[in-house]
Structure 1
Amino acid sequence: MSRTIDEIETITSGGASPVVTYHPVVLDVPGRAVPLALKVSAPANGTDLPVLLLSHGHGASVFLSSLHGYGPLSNYFASEGFVVLQPTHLDSGTLGLREADDPDAPLYARSRAADMRYLVDHLGDIESTVPGLAGRVDHDRIAAAGHSLGGHTTCMLLGMGAQDPATGETLDARIDRVRAGVVLAAPGNGDLADWAAENYPWLRVCDFSTMTTDALVVAGDEDLNPMFSDRLSYRWDSYTQSPGPKSLLMLHGAEHMLGGVSGYDADETTDEDPQRVALLRSVAVAYLRSVLYPGDRSWNDAVAGLASEPTATVEEK
């Protein structure tokens, strides 16, 4: 018999809080093609709240690739005590800039990383803009998470080296203040298909050897898209090719949307499974708590709970 979502989410401890969402917060960033807009989601109560930078994927849907997407993740993380910052990156379908005459287009990998740095550097401004949030944010506990191209962005913040295809420059976009990451179905390194190499040249080089920040990598063992790579393990290179400490959550039967992380009832989800999403986000919260709060045993408890879970396995190094 399958378990209910509530039963799955007891893998982590702590009760959910009501969530307050405020958007758009609009920041004028010098040199950016358009102002940086973001959504802020936070628990209605509490202080010393950690921060989670959440990066959307590139995706085919217009609004899911923006501050309006990833509700199954952002709402849950906020209900579990995080202040979630969701920027709309320049590659978002809502902005119409994917075909722009810009060497960073269509993925805007450099700009994506710069967006996140700007949010971290202006966290105080964001906090004071959102009604009821001032004085409640812990500026020393910051994590990042992202799905697909957002996972690539997250890896850059954690230390992954990326090569600018226009200049050949190796870009180091690490943010030292980001103490942990959750990498969901990110692009890998090597064995890139010709189509992806031609259309998304930023993905040709992903050097995970320098990605030293703690991370939980989440992958589906049926996430295979020959337009990107015909190697199944491509989507968890960020675990196998990076130094520890790292953890890998393998979701059995999951495809690229990992059960539906990009939006509620999103048509592009070919493997829709609310229980899978519930398990993923519960384990991710447990992981972040244990990294951000030394001595917290949420991750240990989650791993123990997964020992009897047939739909997922954990590997660590």
Structure 2
Amino acid sequence: MRCRSVVLATAVALLGVGLAGCSEPTAPTGRPAPDTSPKSATPTPRVPAGKAPATSFAVGVRQLKLNRDGDRPLPVSLWYPAVGPAGGAAKRSVPAAAGRFPVVVFSHGLGARPEDYQVLLTRWAAAGFVVAAPRFPHTGRGGDGNPLDVLNQPADVSYVLSRVLALDATAGDPLRGRLDPDRVAATGHSAGGVTTIGLFTTGRDERLDAGIVFAGTALGVGTAFAGAAAPQLFVHGEADEVVSYAAGKAVFDAVPWPKAMLSLPKGDHGRALLGDGRTLRVVADTTVEFLRWTLYGDPTAKTRLPADATRGNIATLNDRL
């Protein structure tokens, strides 16, 4: 795992160099000044107010074989709330639970796979979200590793989102009638964080109601956030050896919408996202509450979020939601 982490760190560092040649850098080299702007006056997400599920679900997992334009294969892993007792590993192709669930798209990092993040993603599914995670053709494990292809990935995600949402009306599909197309978020780690930022800037997808960026930078996609307000949550390690904390904070500062930044003083580039430890539990609980608030419109989730974020003194929260 250590060797693989070093390879990924080097690859993502090259990603930053490559993208810098395509657009003007948006992150300063030093730690940016604190954000002193007033908190947003927006009290709720743009989705209608509602209540998130109070209990956990069992989790099912299935695969979709998608291909954009015939030359961009995009196999998608789908984790979803399923029938059966909660807890335990995700089960393949089990029936979906009753209800209509928001959709969360997740973009992996350079040289990674959706399965690498399954601990986090199954927790989102257990909380009542359908999670769609594509494996990108060039930046996923087994691809040619071309970092500049990240600039094509926002369009990949929009395509995947369209195809996944179409399942809600597809006769005979196990997720027919189970998806809520009006409650959608984009999330991603590292190169997937760049992809996610791009979905709210140069490749704005207006279907998106919220975003979560793990260890991301705006190099290549910029910080011209556009469209309707969509709350954003940033998660970044202050000891990130690949994408500097300053770079992530600079993007956070540029967001004109309700936003929060979960900072991990001892956090690196995100290895905690790949296992099940104390840090992952704090990140998982905080992101679940953020998604409950932004996608279910649950105001009580917003009130719980600060306590979850600061539990155990593992992280701090800059809350401007």
> What is the TM-score when the length of structure 1 is the normalising length?
0.72
Residue 218 (1) aligns with residue 265 (2)? no
Query: 2:191, 2:312 → 1: CA distance?
Result: 28
1:91-146 deviation per Cα after TM superposition (whole angstroms, max 9, x unaligned): 23444333xxxxxx434123211111112222344444885321111111000110
Q: Does 1:177 align with 2:207?
A: yes
> How far apart, CA to CA, are the structure 2 residues paired with 1:70 and 1:122?
22
1:39 aligns with 77
Q: Percent identity?
A: 27
C-alpha deviation, 1:237, in angstroms: 2.2
Query: CA shift at 1:206, angstroms?
Result: 4.2
Q: Residue 314 of structure 1 aligns to a residue in which SS?
A: strand
| Change beyond 3 A, Cα 1:13–1:294 | closer
Change (3 A) 1:69 1:232: closer
What corresponds to 1:198 in structure 2? none
Query: 1:147 maps to which residue?
Result: 189
- Are 1:138 and 2:153 an aligned pair? no
Instruction: Provide the secondary structure at the position in 2 that maps to 1:155.
Output: helix
Deviation at 1:35, TM superposition (A): 2.5
Answering whether residue 250 of structure 2 is matched by residue 237 of structure 1, we say yes
Letter in 1 for 2:154: A
| 1:66-215 alignment runs, 5 A limit | 66-98=113-145, 105-127=146-168, 128=170, 131-159=173-201, 172-188=202-218, 203=219, 205-210=220-225, 213-215=230-232
**What amino acid is the match of 1:49?**
F
Residue of structure 2 equivalent to 1:52: 104
Q: Secondary structure at the match of 2:299?
A: coil
Which structure exhibits the higher relative contact order, with contacts defined as CA atoms closer than 8 Å and separated by 6 or more residues?
2
Deviation at 1:309, TM superposition (A): 4.0
Q: Which of 282, 291, 299 is equivalent to 1:296?
A: 299
Deviation, structure 1 residue 19: 0.4
**How far apart are the structure 2 equivalents of 1:14 and 1:276?**
23
Work out whether residues 258 and 276 of structure 1, in 8 Å CA contact, stay in contact via their aligned partners in 2. Answer: no
Once superposed, what is the RMSD of the aligned Cα atoms?
2.4
> How far, CA to CA, are the matches of 1:151 and 1:282 in structure 2?
19
Higher helix share: 2
1:56-86 alpha-carbon deviations (Å, 9 max, x no partner): 0004xxxxx2233211221111111110101
Gaps of 5+ in 1: 1-11, 60-64, 99-104, 160-171, 189-202, 265-272
Superposed displacement of residue 301, structure 1? 1.2
Could you tell me whether the CA contact under 8 Å between 1:286 and 1:302 is conserved in 2? yes
Q: Secondary structure at the match of 1:14?
A: coil
Between the aligned partners of 1:43 and 1:236, the Cα distance in structure 2 is: 33
Please give the secondary structure, in 2, of the residue aligned with 1:158: coil
The match for 2:281 among 275, 278, 281 is 278
**Within 1, Cα distance between the matches of 2:76 and 2:311?**
39
How many residues were matched structurally?
A: 252
Deviation sequence 1:267-313 (CA, Å, 0-9, x none): xxxxxx71100110110110111112334221211214545641111
Q: Which residue of 1 aligns with 2:54?
A: 14
Distance 2:208 2:258 in 1: 15
Could you tell me which runs of 5 or more consecutive residues in structure 2 were left unpaired when the two chains were aligned: 1-51, 83-96
Match of residue 248, structure 1, among 240, 261, 265 = 261
